[in-house]
Structures are given as C-alpha cells and as structure tokens.
Amino acid sequence: MKYRALGKTDLNVSVIGVGTWQFGGEWGINFNQLEVDHILAKAQEVGINFIDTAECYGDHLSENFIGDYINRHNRED
C-alpha cells in the first residue's frame, strides 16, 4: 500500500480509503456489525487506514459501526 502525509501533519494515510456510506443502509442493503467488521478487517489487512464517513450516513449508523470496530481493534492503526 502507498501512503501519503495528511496535510502538514505527521499522519500517513493510505492512498486508497474505505467509503462507508453503504453502512448507513439508506442506499442499498442493511449491514450488520459482523459484515462491517469483515470489510474493515480486510481493509486493515491490505494496509488501508483511511476511512471516509459522514454523520449523515444512516443518521450516524455508519459511524457507530466504524467506532465499534475501531474500539475493539488497535485504534492507533
């Protein structure tokens, strides 16, 4: 995976990210935590550390799924 500095910070983010609008369930199927966990685990496995989300994705549902996953795994990654 290739990484780039995030702005003027010391953070290096993957050039490929995971878009998470679909986790909100408003534009397709309804995801559950286990399905989201599998998607995010695969992303982490291949070196993706950039997750794109917004508060409007399922009225915070997407963010809740992501937060739950991150809190159970190495948040620093």
57 catalytic residue (yes or no): yes
Locate the DSSP E strands across the chain.
Answer: 3-5, 12-14, 17-19, 50-52
Catalytic residue among 31, 57, 65, 69: 57
| Distance (Å, whole) CA 20 – CA 61 | 10
Q: Which residues participate in catalysis according to the annotation? A: 57
